[in-house]
Amino acid sequence: MEPDPVYVLGTGLSHDGSSCLLKNGKIVVAIEKERLSRVKHDGGNDLLTVQYCLDHAGITVDDLALVVQVANFEKETIEPSRYKGKRLFGEDCPVPFVTVSHHLAHAYSAVGTCPYDTCNVLVIDGCGSPWQQCDDLAGAFIPADVNSSADLYAEKDSYYHFDGNKLNPLYKDFSTIKLYANRYPVYLPTSNHSIGGFYSMVSGYCFGNMDDAGKLMGLAPYGRQGIFTEPIFRLEDGRVHVIEEVLALFNRPMHFLDHSLKGNFQYYADIAIWVQKEVEKAILYIVQSRLEFKQHENICYAGGVALNAVANTSILRSAPIRNFYIEPAAGDNGIALGCAFYGWIEVLKKQKQYHDGSTLLGRSYANEEVVAAINEYRLRHPETVIVYDECDNYIECTAGFLQQGKMIGWFQGGAEFGPRALGSRSILADPRKADIKNIINSEVKFREDFRPFAPSVLKEDVGDYFEYGHDSPYMILVDRIKPEWKQALAGIVHEDGTCRVQTVTADWNAPFYGLLQAFKQQSGIPVLLNTSFNRKGMPIVETPSDAIDFFYGCKLDVLVLNNIIIAKP
């Protein structure tokens, strides 16, 4: 008789909330709250995400062996039944609950998903748990000034060793949390000396929104190096500190005095390139310092700062790292994964299970659900004539549409977990099409015209088109287009000749791999423009209804949901 399965639920109650369910140590399903609530960076309460996970597995709360949770700046006060609203766990919930600190959850998200039996793990983010709430201090080197006064200290970077059974802290650095008493026009949102916090602050400075950090990386290539030359960080003794006086230079915030981005584009681009380069120096300094502290052939990397693809590539090329794994859901959305793996490995003392590398962790939607969503849209919009076809050779048909220059909404299998569209919830186009970047930015995504698009390429062909040919399945590294392809594939080349590449294999994304193969057969090019299936300010679509609503609200030409094709007249 088969033993009963062991279910562990991990759940994140920070911003970018999410939940993840393990069955016998392997991921069954994981989902970010924003995909369900349709509110960007939503978090705080996990009612929607926990229900989604349980429903997909066909279980109830009573079937769980353990729940592990995390939230910033709170620990003992998090009740199972309530947290910023009602939760699924009642007042007398019989399931054991464990609450862990922030960086520990980040680190376990990398441990659980990486392909290594043992490794070191680096975490760098905006702000983690307060010193008093950390579960991972014992045995770690901690700088002497931490907790030396009445100031509040919070995690800014942490370094660990995973020995195959347990994650052991090696080095933890902290920063004070206090405002600069309004001495400057800007201030870091939380930790005073955080790389991630500083980058978010500059995002707010340039765009009016601290959550738009990814835009800053896209704006930087338009900047002129050397306009701003002041160092931003003090790098010494293996630590990074923000030079407080540099904040005085940020005296033209976009949302004050009508300093619009469009009207002052070059100024903000010059700020962006300056900050990007200084941040890269600071990150590389931490990486090299920690590697000197304790080296390992396998290095994992998590935390929101690990989403900076340009800095990641600098690490890969400059640091003495043999095997480098960057957790694809490196931000706070990924801490639910870490909570679940912490529960399985640390609390239940179970052996780590192999993860196949897939980020397609959402639930799939059957064709019956797609047809129901089409009919529901017809009821709401009787004026819209929808003609769809259930197509056996939908991959070849989609490749044909792309070859004709059509823009495609591509909806297959379970949604990606993390911020990148990797061929499950994607908008696709032929990168050879003239002006395709401007068309998608203005008529589909409704976003700024400087924003770049990424190429997805068959892994076996990446070296033919890109100089370094990195294996990059998670679109979290940049490469440089080969000169002979710069004009021909202009749709996926950024201002500085770089591209945030995704290499595609068949092992965990067979339909997308098949589409790239079919497009190569028809066009001779194994590269597609791939961007997330959303518009500015909108989470990536989760359901067929989300996709259909989006499709009829923009100028996409074709929508492919499983093998069901909807083409506009």
Decide: 199 and 305 in contact? Cβ < 8 Å.
yes
38: left (phi over 0), alpha (psi -120 to 50) or beta: left
Residue 21 and residue 42 in one domain: yes
- Give Cα 223 distance to the centre of its chain: 25
Check whether residue 379 and residue 473 sit in a common domain.
yes
Determine, yes or no, domain membership for 357: no
Residue 285 lies in domain? 116-326
How many domains does the chain contain in total?
Answer: 3
Looking at residue 179, what is its pLDDT?
A: 60
Residue 514 included in any domain: yes
**Tens-place pLDDT, residues 455-474:** 999 999 999 999 999 999 99
Both 442 and 487 in one domain: the answer is yes
pLDDT in tens, 170-180: 999 999 887 65
* Residue 126 one-letter amino acid: G
Alpha carbon distance 264, 36 (integer Å)? 36
At residue 301, the 3 state secondary structure works out as: strand
Residue 409 in any domain: the answer is yes
* Position 426 pLDDT exceeds 80: yes
The per-residue pLDDT for range 22-81, each reduced to its tens digit, is 999 999 999 999 999 999 999 999 999 999 999 999 999 999 999 999 998 888 889 999
Predicted pLDDT at 456: 98
Q: Does some domain include residue 109?
A: no
Tokens of 244: 């407080």
Sequence-ordered list of residues with C-beta below 8 angstroms from that of 29, at least 6 positions apart, any chain: 20, 21, 52, 53, 56, 57, 361, 362, 363, 414
Q: What is the C-alpha to C-alpha distance for residues 222 and 273, in angstroms, rounded to an integer?
A: 8
Measured CA to CA, the distance from residue 67 to residue 366 in angstroms comes to: 29
Report the candidate in 378, 390, 302 with the shortest Cα–Cα distance to residue 113: 302
Q: Report residue 306: phi and psi, to 5°.
A: -70, -5
Question: Partners of 240 in the beta sheet?
Answer: 235
- Average pLDDT of the residues in 535-545: 97
**Between these two residues, 183 and 240, which has the higher pLDDT value?**
240
Q: How far is CA 373 from CA 366, 378, 497, 548, in A?
A: 11, 9, 41, 8
Q: Write the pLDDT tens digit of every residue in 141-163.
A: 999 888 766 578 999 999 999 99
The pTM assigned to this predicted structure is: 0.96
How would DSSP label each residue in 458-495? EGGGHHHHBSS----TTS-EEEEB-GGGTTTTGGG--T
Query: Is the domain of 88 the same as that of 151?
Result: no
Task: Please tell me whether residue 151 adopts helix, strand or coil conformation.
Answer: coil
135 lies in some domain: yes
Q: Beta 564-567 vs 558-561: how paired, if at all?
A: antiparallel
Indicate whether 341 and 391 sit together in one domain. Answer: no
Half-sphere exposure of 503 (CA within 13 A, CB side): 18
102, two tokens: 């922030």
What does pLDDT average to over the chain?
94
In terms of domains, do 288 and 403 share one?
no
Token output for 414: 């379970």
Question: DSSP alpha helices (H): ranges in 114-256?
Answer: 195-207, 213-219
Domain with residue 391: its CATH number is 3.90.870.20
- Asked if the model's pLDDT at residue 255 lies above 80, the reply is no
Q: What is the pLDDT of residue 172?
A: 97
- pLDDT category of residue 213 using cuts at 50, 70 and 90: confident
- Provide the pLDDT confidence category of residue 203 given band limits of 50, 70 and 90: very high
pLDDT tens-place string over residues 471-489: 999 999 999 999 999 999 9
Asked if 98 and 143 sit in the same domain, the reply is no
Residues 28 and 171 reside in one and the same domain:
no
For 287-316, what is the mean pLDDT?
96
Q: What is the pLDDT of residue 189?
A: 80
Does 236 share its domain with 209?
yes
**What is the distance between the alpha carbons of residues 219 and 241, in angstroms, rounded to a whole number?**
24
Instruction: Flag whether 27 is in a domain.
Output: yes
pLDDT tens sequence across 112-142? 999 999 999 999 999 999 999 999 999 999 9
Q: What is the distance between the alpha carbons of residues 18 and 339, in angstroms, rounded to a whole number?
A: 11
Q: Which of 317, 347, 377 is the last residue of a domain?
A: 347
Joined together, the tokens standing for residue 563 give 């093998």
Inter-residue contact 12 to 339 (CB < 8 Å): yes
Together in a domain, 376 and 269:
no
Per-residue model confidence (pLDDT) at position 148: 63
Is 153 among the domain residues? yes
Q: What is the CATH number of the domain that holds 59?
A: 3.30.420.40
Mean pLDDT is lowest, of 178-187, 256-265, 356-365, for 178-187
* Residue 538: pLDDT band with limits 50, 70, 90: very high
Nearest to 107 by CA among 439, 339, 365: 339
pLDDT confidence of residue 88: 95
The larger pLDDT score, comparing residue 233 to residue 1, is at: 233
Would you state the pLDDT for residue 181? 56
Which residue in the block uniquely carries the two structure tokens 């896209």? 218
Q: Kindly state whether residue 547 falls inside one of the protein's structural domains.
A: yes
What's the pLDDT band for 434 if we cut at 50, 70, 90? confident
- Domain shared by 425 and 528, yes or no: yes
Q: CA torsion sign, 8 to 12 to 13 to 19?
A: negative
190 has pLDDT over 90? no
Residues 456, 557, single domain; the answer is yes
